[in-house]
Chain A
Amino acid sequence: ETGVTQSPTHLIKTRGQQVTLRCSSQSGHNTVSWYQQALGQGPQFIFQYYREEENGRGNFPPRFSGLQFPNYSSELNVNALELDDSALYLCASSRLAGNTGELFFGEGSRLTVL
């Protein structure tokens, strides 16, 4: 059983650019959530996808968007990057039915915005 994998692991962008982060869910999981973890903080919920649709969103602006594909992999897109977007972005997958909220996290993509 493969776990949650994320790519790239590290990347550097400049302010105003756009970035796409990718996530492959754990086998058998159909729900994916994205979190932003700023340095020294706990993770903050960005949004969740189920059946290729956004199903819950945290307090993040529309320039944060996502996709979920039929194979349950996912992308996080951030437009018009700002310095405060520098963070570790974590993807988490779960199985909606028959589960009780446990999330399985990848190791994250560390984004630096200069």
Chain B
Amino acid sequence: AQSVTQPDIHITVSEGASLELRCNYSYGATPYLFWYVQSPGQGLQLLLKYFSGDTLVQGIKGFEAEFKRSQSSFNLRKPSVHWSDAAEYFCAVGAGYGGTSYGKLTFGQGTILTVHP
């Protein structure tokens, strides 16, 4: 069974500091990996995704993530955090196109990011 672990429930950083949110996954085949962001009372917005190819993927709002198969990790990074980045971040793994569980993503528990001015 697939699973996602986000070890950090809550992270606090100062505005302008760098950020890394950790994500570890368990999946039996080639994973399709995603990072989503959720602001309070809102739905989920896709930040970036990895399917194949270059293991460093760029997303919106200056975020990037690196897929490391040997470590089963897909950590999210941003070099300089803005106050507007405060939100909850979810890592997810899915089967991708073609599987019967195509629309099924397995999410981690989320990491709440607080940004201090």
Contact = CB atoms under 8 A, between A and B. Distances in A.
Contacts, number: 83
A58 B104 contact: yes
Interface stretch (B14-22, B39-47, B78-86): B39-47
A98 B45 CA distance: 21
A2 interface: no
Nearest to B46: A102
A37 to B, nearest CB: 8
B45 to A, nearest CB: 8
A45 B102 CA distance: 11
A43 B44 contact: yes
A60 to B, nearest CB: 12
Interface in B84-104: 90, 92, 94-97, 100-104
Interface size class of B (residues with CB under 8 A): 20 to 34
Contact of A90 (B44, B46, B104, B108): B44
A80 interface: no
Interface in A63-108: 90, 92, 94, 96, 98-108
A106 B43 CA distance: 5
A90 B107 CA distance: 13
A24 interface: no
B115 interface: no
Contacts of A90: 43-44
A61 interface: no
A44 B90 CA distance: 12
A99 B101 CA distance: 14
A16 B65 CA distance: 44
B57 interface: no
Nearest to A41: B109
A103 B103 contact: yes
Given A100-B97, A102-B34, A43 B103 contact: no
A62 interface: no
Interface of B: 4, 32, 34, 36, 41-46, 49, 51, 90, 92, 94-97, 100-110
Given A43-B107, A92-B44, A102-B46, 4 more contacts: A56-B102, A101-B105, A105-B36, A105-B45
